[in-house]
Amino acid sequence: MARSAGITQERVVTVAAELADAHGLAALTLAQVAARLGVKLPSLYNHVDGLPGLQRELAVLGIRELGTCLRDAAVGKAGDDAVLAVAQAYRAYVLAHPGRYAATVRAPAPDDAELQALSAWVVGVVVTVLAPYELGEAGTIHAVRGLRSIAHGFATLEQAGGFGLALDRDTSFLRLLRAFLAGLRATGSAP
């Protein structure tokens, strides 16, 4: 080791995640992270590969946490209950950790195997929850995309302050999910 100040990549990423959640991913700077850790800015380069590297680590953290939340939300549930729980967990994660969630949305580099694998794992969790609907292979993927669009779209709009009117947002989300599920059963594998 060295004249070390006990900094690790994990600590850097944790502090960055807190800052990104609090002030937005766009406002995250290495200077802030360094100040929070009590080191000079260039020292961070010993632990992360610059700002792009740090954002990639944030994405890894976010996808891992998100996947865990979704999986945990589904245990002991089935059918519509499970789908509702997963979607609610998705929304809750976005609202609780908007910064790290934003990091997960950027498409991973084509050669980033770890990130690709994590994404596939999360998709797998949702596929499992949708299995009982017997939508077929393609139909299931369409449904995963639909459910993810709904959860992502609602939560990110909500987080951005996009729902101005004073109408309960929990109700809006629940209605949207129920409509989607009813439609899934009704339309089956139509067009």
Told to check if 149 binds a second copy by CB under 8 A, we report yes
Of 37 and 130, nearer to a second copy (C-beta) is 130
Pairwise CA distance, residues 140 & 152, whole Å = 18
Q: How far is the CB of 166 from a second copy (least distance, A)?
A: 10
- 176-181, long-range: CB within 8 Å, 24+ apart, which pairs? 176/150, 177/83, 177/84, 177/87, 177/150, 180/146, 180/147, 180/150, 181/80, 181/83, 181/84
Pairwise CA distance, residues 76 & 141, whole Å = 23
Q: Which two tokens stand for residue 101?
A: 């969630």
- Using CB under 8 A, which of 7, 26, 71, 75 touches a second copy? 26
Q: How far is the CB of 170 from DNA (least distance, A)?
A: 36
Told to check if 40 binds DNA by CB under 7 A, we report yes
- Using CB under 7 A, which of 16, 17, 19, 30 touches DNA? 30
Burial class (CB in 10 A: 0-12, 13-18, 19+), 191: exposed
Pairwise CA distance, residues 95 & 137, whole Å = 31
Told to check if 43 binds DNA by CB under 7 A, we report yes
Of 5 and 131, nearer to DNA (C-beta) is 5
Told to check if 39 binds DNA by CB under 7 A, we report yes
Task: Give the x-and-dash track for 170-189 against a second copy (CB under 8 A).
Answer: -xx-xxx-xxxxxxx-xx--
Told to check if 14 binds DNA by CB under 7 A, we report no
- Using CB under 7 A, which of 14, 15, 24, 29 touches DNA? 29
The interface partner of residue 149, options being DNA, a second copy, none and the CB cut-off 5 to 8 Å by kind, is a second copy
Pairwise CA distance, residues 125 & 67, whole Å = 7
Pairwise CA distance, residues 112 & 44, whole Å = 22
Told to check if 5 binds DNA by CB under 7 A, we report yes
Told to check if 32 binds DNA by CB under 7 A, we report yes
Told to check if 78 binds DNA by CB under 7 A, we report no
Q: Which residue has the tokens 């700002």?
A: 51
Told to check if 111 binds a second copy by CB under 8 A, we report no
